[in-house]
A and B are shown apart, each in its own frame.
Chain A
Amino acid sequence: MIGGLFIYNHKGEVLISRVYRDDIGRNAVDAFRVNVIHARQQVRSPVTNIARTSFFHVKRSNIWLAAVTKQNVNAAMVFEFLYKMCDVMTAYFGKISEENIKNNFVLIYELLDEILDFGYPQNSETGALKTFITQQGIKSQTKEEQSQITSQVTGQIGWRREGIKYRRNELFLDVLESVNLLMSPQGQVLSAHVSGRVVMKSYLSGMPECKFGMNDKIVIDKQGKGGTTDDTGKSGKQSIAIDDCTFHQCVRLSKFDSERSISFIPPDGEYELMRYRTTKDIILPFRVIPLVREVGRTKLEVKVVIKSNFKPSLLAQKIEVRIPTPLNTSGVQVICMKGKAKYKASENAIVWKIKRMAGMKESQISAEIELLPTNDKKKWARPPISMNFEVPFAPSGLKVRYLKVFEPKLNYSDHDVIKWVRYIGRSGIYETRC
């Protein structure tokens, strides 16, 4: 298991060091600094073995978090733990920075003592932790409160405490998708997938039992076969094939496996209910058509057309097209029909920004790039043209069908709950080779 955990600043100075196992000595702290942080070459692996000691590291801005072990630990678990550690710290004091860590080092030690025992991760849900690890110091609790804490930390529903009350029962569902594309210069889709998340903010009283439904092809086909009133032909079109999905630990996985129904008792506040991935029938919101022509050895002509491909009534926002330029670019002239375009020498790219664009429209940019003559034999690698945008629909076609809330003990019913649903599609890695 994890033998020790260190946090360093960008210079390699130790901010936090907590050793859990006897086989990890103080020299491990220095070994990591010398061999990884101060290493001359770029890090080639997130796992490093130095003198039979293994170091796992992740970086958040310029802070290094390193877990150390001498055993054959579960590597995936160590990284998951490090990410979790970052989440917990962010939930407690915001951004992970040197200043914040120094300001909260006592708290961090307290957290580390709680969520990692002898190198074994323990309950690390912030909801539960915040009930008894606070920055204010613990007020003397009553006996009931204490046992409530312990049963929550160790209990089956570790992510939610009892006795939550809201005057207004409300919930927000955000379907956030990032659409990823790799397209060949000829317009052939090399790979495309949507990775989506359903993020929920719940402000519900008591211990509500929730059921979430979406237009999952498997569920809808099953219902269709069941001979319900649904028109199978119609619903078949509207359903989507989900390649794979993963759920927050509150979701009863065995129930999903057997019935494909998503039921759970939600944590209080904001959390990620599920993640999913689709690869079929993706609506690609934009198409990029590049044209690069080399005119002699010192000039490049670039023309890029973008086409929006969704309902004309919808508006895409924050559109940005990034056209890479060679390293020996000396000057660029740009003409664009819409938005603003600029050559950014420091980024070696022409950045074209458009604030808004409706569906089924087309826009174009053309640029002339002057090059300095070089005798460099190596050809320019021609990085792909990348694009950023935000659209108000889900490119995968996912629709929320229902989210039912049942709380038998308290006197509110499903339709007393105010529910909000929002769809946002963003570009992930949306690239077209040129």
Chain B
Amino acid sequence: MTDSKYFTTTKKGEIFELKAELNSDKKEKKKEAVKKVIASMTVGKDVSALFPDVVNCMQTDNLELKKLVYLYLMNYAKSQPDMAIMAVNTFVKDCEDPNPLIRALAVRTMGCIRVDKITEYLCEPLRKCLKDEDPYVRKTAAVCVAKLHDINAQLVEDQGFLDTLKDLISDSNPMVVANAVAALSEIAESHPNSNLLDLNPQTINKLLTALNECTEWGQIFILDCLANYTPRDDRESQSICERVTPRLSHANSAVVLSAVKVLMKFMEMLPKDLDYYGTLLKKLAPPLVTLLSAEPELQYVALRNINLIVQKRPEILKHEMKVFFVKYNDPIYVKLEKLDIMIRLASQANIAQVLAELKEYATEVDVDFVRKAVRAIGRCAIKVEQSAERCVSTLLDLIQTKVNYVVQEAIVVIKDIFRKYPNKYESVIATLCENLDSLDEPEARAAMIWIVGEYAERIDNADELLESFLEGFHDESTQVQLQLLTAIVKLFLKKPTETQELVQQVLSLATQDSDNPDLRDRGYIYWRLLSTDPVAAKEVVLAEKPLISEETDLIEPTLLDELICHIGTLASVYHKPPSAFVEGSRGVQHKRLPARAGSGESAESPEVGQSGTSEAPPAVIPSQGDLLGDLLNLDLAPATTTVPSVQPSMQMGAMDLLGGGLDSLLGGDIGGSPSMGAALGAPAAMPAALSNAPAVGGGLGDLFDLGGGVGMPTGFYVAPKTLFLPAMKAKGLEISGTFARRGGIIQMDLSLTNKAMSVMTDFAIQFNRNSFGLAPAGPLQVLTPLTPNQTIDVSLPLGTTGPVMKMEPLNNLQVAVKNNIDVFYFSCQYPLSLLFVEDGKMERQVFLATWKDIPNDNEAQFQIKDVHLNSDAASNKLQGSNIFTIAKRTVDAQDMLYQSIKLTNGIWVLAEMRVQTGNPNYTVNRNKESCQ
């Protein structure tokens, strides 16, 4: 009985030999030959040439040989579709065989052969098999419907197999039911909107009955299917939960996890004051803990899921900290996951134990694990205030070990601790400073620099320390450079007398020698702040920082809810929605937790308008400890980082701006040199500006006045209100409105008129997803009830951080307004100029470079007619709408205006406007560019 010999034939001419053997008269020899063929197939050799000969062996009574031939067929039928037809007759015949095992084998194999002609022949036998008297054949046929659907969905629908499959849910045999459920669930997944799995209380009851009787795998199929059901009320939900809980004692971990999924989901519907709710919570903990005694791979799956469960319902496992302690022999993937959960469960009650454990872990061998352990100590300090002191001393102990990566990690977390508990643990700074030289990772260096800058007044040699970093400024990573810049400015504001030189040095390094726009921007901002108003600078730079929040690394709540619906599956292992890793239509449906019944959050009284703000996720600090957060919070809005700022050279080269500068714009040669030269003069003026702000301030301060003395810009253009929603369509509510941009805030001005007979109250508003992510930034402020014939004017501030979806036309906005009567929908169009931001003035050189870079395809040209303005007035007027003129030149009595616009989502639009004196028509060439 040694089959291994089949693997060893590798000589040439083997195919030929096999062919002869396959056609041999002797049964044994034939069988031997087929085995050899299968062995070659396994190792990846192409034996498709033997197709006809192997198929010839199909007609046999020997079941073992038949299975081998079928295996071969499944592999090669697709590459030899014409010859595969030869097998059809045998299949059809086998489907009629008196032996149910053979009938099932035939229908099972036929479904795996993906050849159109064969699937046609499959329909009749399949229909018979679905109604076969033997349950073994029926359960095989049920899966076969799913196979056929995968090959040809239309065929399955046309032949009515779906109905037969639905009938099988009522089959007397539990395994048939389970397979039918599995097949239907899979088919339903590819038709998200079909009501294929028509789950109603009757079918649910059938499933729950089958659940007690079928195999462990069948139980998983049924539980996974149940999880997709939404009970009608909390009673039904409770009764399903009661019937599912016994599964928590199953030996199969997958059954347990699927049961946990059903319970976690249906629990959402139970009122929290219900006794049963508490009982259920208690019942969930032991099985979850038991999962940790499974094999390591399953432990890993369980831990990833527990991580989600702990975030959703921390109360379940709050007393089970000890089981998550890391064992010396755990595989690394189990260790890292356990550590994560330990931090989530850490509380005042157990913190002493947790810390003792973490300290042990910090001396282990695996670098990743040790780092995570050190970081965990910091997170404990932030989470449990009482433990902070002990955490800090533990961290100091670890720093004493001088193990390089431990020290660096410790410094990074200590920085976070400082943020959380300002002015408390500064005594440790001295110890930290001793380790300055050993820091070689950007994150640790940045953290250390932040600490030095933040506490500059207490560190005597802060200037020396920072200066030492400055030497290699250009070799540092951006993170460190930015931090160094901020730290030195802080130092200067705290000790202005000794550090002027240092601050000049860093400002010039940041603004002139750096290619990084973030760094340059920040440099200029500081520079100007310092030069115009040092007091303001102090207020801004040394402002009180918001405390960082306690919980870190939390999964965003909506994603968490979706993942809870996927407990046990790959999505819960990856912590990503299925759409992130599954191709095609499968699994793209987003699952949601059901809403709690009977509580105030039910569908009856939601404030549509508030949903945007009230459900704001808890503030989460990035786990990597983003140091930049403290800088005026400017870096928190990602879009601003890409805004090129206006160089001081603008002012210096103001003379050039209309003349020589423009030539360079035309000539293509970036005329950087004259203006750069002027810019270099700026640092020299700096100290003077600082010591003597009012006098020199005028010069540098003007930089801010981007209008450049052309005069006050006129305001933003606001269109008159138009009718959005006629009273006819909205049961008496009439809405008209317009959009405006005031002081950088987009506002939607609405007039609500009650033309009905009754009073209207409870107004709320919500937007559909739109092209620029416009969303209400606050609730609709209609405080008093709207009496009949009353009109009320409201201004709704809008944000641009809502969900984005491309609309047609681009500026279309779909709005839902709700009042006590009903919900009404209308759509309106907003002027694009609404989205032009105030900092849309592009630096000239950048403008020039960008203009050249934009391909011609992106260019559009159109004319504006009947404008009786000269170019300056036009430019002035446009600036009111945040369309900035970068340059102007005059050619042949035509004024050419070069303008830039920036949209809220970071897209730049560049325009060239040609104004012919005396001709009221303007020609505009528009170029568009995306920033990203």
Contact = CB atoms under 8 A, between A and B. Distances in A.
B114 interface: yes
Interface string A4-28: 0000000001111101111100100
Contacts of B101: 132, 146, 149-150
Contact of A75 (B136, B212, B570): B570
Given A72-B571, A147-B100, A16 B176 contact: no
Interface stretch (A151-159, A308-316, A387-395): A151-159
Contacts of B71: 109, 113
B247 interface: yes
Interface in A45-76: 45-47, 49, 52, 54, 56-58, 69-76
A195 interface: yes
Nearest to B298: A79
Contacts of B329: 429
B578 interface: yes
Interface stretch (A223-231, A238-246, A329-337, A396-404): A238-246
Interface in A151-204: 151, 153-156, 158, 182, 184, 190-191, 193, 195
Contacts of B298: 76, 79-80, 83
Contact of B44 (A14, A193, A272): A14
Contacts of B220: 74, 77
B491 to A, nearest CB: 33
Interface string B315-330: 0000000110101110
Nearest to A69: B570
Given A42-B332, A79-B298, A105-B3, A71 B587 contact: yes
Given A70-B582, A77-B217, A381-B363, A106 B3 contact: yes
B147 interface: yes
Given A75-B572, A154-B173, A154-B175, A106 B302 contact: no
Given A154-B139, A433-B360, A275 B224 contact: no
Interface in A246-281: 246-249, 252-254, 256-257, 272, 274-275, 277
Interface centre among B4, B39, B357 (most CB of A within 10 A): B4
Interface stretch (B232-240, B252-260, B631-639): B252-260
B140 interface: yes
A69 to B, nearest CB: 8
Given A103-B4, A190-B353, A191-B325, A121 B217 contact: yes
A6 B402 CA distance: 47
Interface centre among B70, B143, B297, B322 (most CB of A within 10 A): B297
Contacts of B173: 154-155
Given A138-B64, A191-B322, A102 B217 contact: no
A158 B173 CA distance: 12
Interface stretch (B285-293, B722-730, B833-841): B285-293
A255 B815 CA distance: 55
A190 B332 contact: no
A76 B403 contact: no
Nearest to A256: B249
Interface centre among B98, B220, B586 (most CB of A within 10 A): B220
A57 B331 CA distance: 14
Interface in B135-169: 135-137, 139-140, 143-144, 146-147, 150
B17 interface: no
Contact of A249 (B186, B216, B356, B582): B216
Contact of B364 (A23, A123, A156, A381): A381
A378 B404 CA distance: 9
B570 A47 contact: yes
Nearest to B402: A377
A104 B570 contact: no
Nearest to A152: B136
A45 B300 contact: yes
Q: Give the interface SS of chain B, mostly helix, strand, loop or mixed.
A: helix
A103 B42 contact: no
Interface in B558-578: 566, 568-574, 578
A156 B325 contact: no
A174 B161 CA distance: 50
Contact of A79 (B39, B42, B301, B363): B301
A431 interface: yes
Contacts of A75: 301, 568-570, 572-573
Given A42-B332, A44-B333, A191-B322, A138 B63 contact: yes
B59 interface: no
Contacts of B332: 42, 44
Contacts of A58: 295, 297
Contact of A71 (B250, B287, B582): B582
Nearest to A49: B581
B7 interface: yes
Q: Give the interface SS of chain A, mostly helix, strand, loop or mixed.
A: mixed
A277 B578 CA distance: 34
Given A13-B43, A75-B568, A150-B135, A45 B333 contact: yes
A123 B217 CA distance: 8
Given A120-B217, A377-B403, A249 B250 contact: yes
B28 to A, nearest CB: 11
Interface in A112-166: 113, 117-118, 120-125, 132, 135, 137-138, 141, 143, 146-147, 149-151, 153-156, 158
A383 interface: yes
A54 B581 contact: yes
B365 interface: yes
B38 A106 contact: yes
Given A182-B327, A190-B325, A29 B4 contact: no
B327 A429 contact: yes
A151 B67 CA distance: 21
B295 A79 contact: yes
Nearest to A248: B251
A209 interface: no
Nearest to B288: A244
B297 A79 contact: yes
B568 to A, nearest CB: 5
A104 B377 CA distance: 52
Contacts of A113: 67, 70-71, 108
Contact of A72 (B44, B364, B566): B566
Contacts of B246: 253-254, 256-257
A244 B286 contact: yes
A105 B99 contact: no
Given A150-B134, A246-B249, A123 B100 contact: no
B568 A156 contact: no
Nearest to A277: B290
Contacts of B112: 20, 118
A186 to B, nearest CB: 11
B858 interface: no
Contacts of A99: 4
B150 to A, nearest CB: 7
B111 A118 contact: yes
Interface of B: 1-4, 6-7, 35, 38-39, 42-44, 62-64, 67-68, 70-71, 75, 98-101, 104, 108, 111-112, 114, 134-137, 139-140, 143-144, 146-147, 150, 173-176, 179, 182, 186, 212-217, 220-221, 224, 243, 245-247, 249-254, 256-258, 286-287, 289-290, 293, 295-298, 300-302, 322-323, 325, 327-329, 332-333, 353, 356-357, 360, 363-365, 401-403, 566, 568-574, 578, 581-583, 586-587
Interface of A: 1, 13-17, 19-23, 26, 29, 42-47, 49, 52, 54, 56-58, 69-77, 79-83, 99, 102-106, 109-110, 113, 117-118, 120-125, 132, 135, 137-138, 141, 143, 146-147, 149-151, 153-156, 158, 182, 184, 190-191, 193, 195, 243-249, 252-254, 256-257, 272, 274-275, 277, 377-379, 381-384, 386, 429, 431, 433
For the complex of A and B, the 6 pairs showing the least CB-CB separation, nearest first, are A244-B286, A150-B136, A102-B4, A76-B254, A257-B246, A77-B254
9 contacts: A20-B112, A42-B332, A77-B568, A79-B298, A118-B146, A149-B101, A244-B287, A275-B293, A378-B403
